[in-house]
Structure 1
Amino acid sequence: MSSIRRLAAMLLALPLIAGCAMPAPTPANVNVNAEHAETQAPRILVFTQTLGFRHDSIPVAVDTLRTLADDAGFAVVHGEDPALFDDATLPGFRAVVFANTTGNLLDAAQRDAFERYVRNGGGFMGVHSASDTGHDWPWYGELVGAWFDSHPPGLQTSPVRFESRPAPEGSDGWHVTDELYNFRRNPRPHVDVLATVDERAYEGGAMGDDHPIAWCHARLGGRAWYTGLGHDIAVYADPVLRAHLLQGIRYTTGMRDHC
């Protein structure tokens, strides 16, 4: 073959070579892009560290909060590492949820960082034994509203009267079966009460005629919301409890003006 003919053949082959070097997008590329897009959603930290009793319901609580947060347009980061509580990391979360935490969590620097986060408008949501946390931390006691004191034996059933408006969908006449906490103080003078239980319906209540079980406030800078419900695995499947938790997510993240 002459040099001219060899050159012509090479020129004709170039488009084919270039085409092979530029493959079409694959499903793997699409998944990576979607995963990256998900990380751009505003985030909520669900914190579940325990230094005391550990609830079997924690995995279900995390899954429930993840589903509800996703429905509200938030991505959940679940963790138990107290190193998340610093001035660089916390501002990346719209709200922090203590879901069935127990014990005296966080060191002094981490507590200071969390206090600054809330003072600067960060949201806090506590679920069940979040009130059995930080008993040596007075500021946290004010944040959560009231500390756990005791509970009746086993799971018991009580009607729940919601004072918040609008109440969670389907909550009219709702009865809950769960571990019903007694608290060290009645939080009503310090918070906006969302729901109460009726001690006449079960044994072991220790707070009298006014027994708040859920409340909210914004006294410390950011929005704080707490529910004493959430001990039992089965309660997380209840649509009223799920609607109740969703209201907490929406309030603490600023989606809802009132709790």
Structure 2
Amino acid sequence: MKCLPRFMLCFVVLLCACQATPQTKSILVFTKTEGFRHKAIEPAVAALTQSTPRYGYQLVVTENASDFNPQNLSRYATVMFLLTTGDVLDEQQQHAFENYISNGGSFVGVHSATDTEKRWPWYGQLVGARFIGHPNHPNVREGLVHPDGHPHPSIEFLPDPWLKEDEWYELEYLNPAIQALLWVDETSYKRSDENAKQSLRPLAWELSIGKGRVFYTALGHTAESYQDPLFLQHLWGGIIAVNQPPVPQ
């Protein structure tokens, strides 16, 4: 077998490098709010940006809904709704996002992503649930979280139970296809006068919508969460998972 001349070999390597574009590991991090605005947004963006080199991804952070157009979305492997709230996209932008997911784009939702676009049925199926409320006085409490137990990059390193301080969402589950990854024990954080409806309920999950893959975690309300190595690894594990080929059933 003949060897390629050195200049030809350099050309081939350069060509391959150009074809292996960084877009395959680019994430559009969307932080727009039209309702409650979490103080954790800026610490969350800072922590994710700081940890990005470790995982080999590129982040583009935006609050500009006009970025949801076909040409721009095609640059990203993943769209993350990071602590978004309210109605953040117009009808044309919604349509572009639906097509992005249908064509194989992936989605990561964090905490109040379930308190976003609550009147958009397709989005409810995408994120899997809708925010109803949370305990108050105080709204942030310690609770016990249980990993589901099967191998998954977002949970396989977590202790069981995981004692976590956060704001514990009450959710209306909209998509029966969700595959739970974390469960929270309501009795571990609700007072006796708050009547926990069930002891365990899904807190984080994955699902597929057409060709698109989805990861959602209800954790992440507090700024301190983004200084917690376990939570950050949980979040990055979800990002990694939605960028992997689906496991055959």
User: Shared topology, TM-score over 0.5?
Assistant: yes
Q: Does 1:163 align with 2:148?
A: yes
Aligned position for 2:163: 175
Structure 1 residues 235 and 120: CA distance shift in structure 2, 3 A = same
Q: Distance in 2 between matches of 1:91 and 1:179?
A: 34
Q: Does 1:191 align with 2:178?
A: yes
**More displaced 10-residue stretch of structure 1: 195-204 or 83-92:** 195-204
Q: Which string of whole-angstrom CA distances, capped at 9 and with x for unpartnered residues, describes residues 205-237 of structure 1?
A: 755133111001013320000000000111221
Q: Does 1:47 align with 2:30?
A: yes
1:215 pairs, out of 199, 205, 213, with 205
Q: How many residues align?
A: 220
Deviation at 1:240, TM superposition (A): 1.4
Q: Which string of whole-angstrom CA distances, capped at 9 and with x for unpartnered residues, describes residues 94-127 of structure 1?
A: 1000000000111111000000000010010000
Q: Does 1:122 align with 2:119?
A: no
The residue type paired with residue 29 of structure 2 is V
Identity across matched positions, percent: 39
Give the number of the structure whose residues are more often strand, by fraction.
Answer: 2
2:39 pairs, out of 52, 56, 67, with 56
The residue type paired with residue 211 of structure 2 is G
Q: Distance in 1 between matches of 2:126 and 2:195?
A: 24
Q: Does 1:75 align with 2:58?
A: yes
Q: Which string of whole-angstrom CA distances, capped at 9 and with x for unpartnered residues, describes residues 166-213 of structure 1?
A: 3342423311110000002375x3210000111111124755133111
Structure 1 residues 257 and 64: CA distance shift in structure 2, 3 A = farther
Is residue 158–residue 176 contact of structure 1 (8 Å, CA) maintained in 2?
Answer: yes
Give the TM-score, by structure 1 length.
Answer: 0.79
Q: Secondary structure at the match of 1:51?
A: coil
Larger radius of gyration: 1
Q: Which string of whole-angstrom CA distances, capped at 9 and with x for unpartnered residues, describes residues 23-43 of structure 1?
A: xxxxxxxxxxxxxxx977731
Aligned position for 1:112: 95
Q: Distance in 2 between matches of 1:231 and 1:118?
A: 26
Q: Secondary structure at the match of 2:230?
A: helix
Q: Distance in 2 between matches of 1:168 and 1:62?
A: 24
Q: Distance in 2 between matches of 1:70 and 1:165?
A: 27
* Alignment RMSD (CA, Å): 2.1
The residue type paired with residue 91 of structure 1 is S
Give the TM-score, by structure 2 length.
Answer: 0.82
Q: Distance in 1 between matches of 2:56 and 2:113?
A: 24
Q: Does 1:135 align with 2:122?
A: no
2:236 pairs, out of 228, 233, 246, with 246
Deviation at 1:165, TM superposition (A): 2.7
Is residue 49–residue 101 contact of structure 1 (8 Å, CA) maintained in 2?
Answer: yes
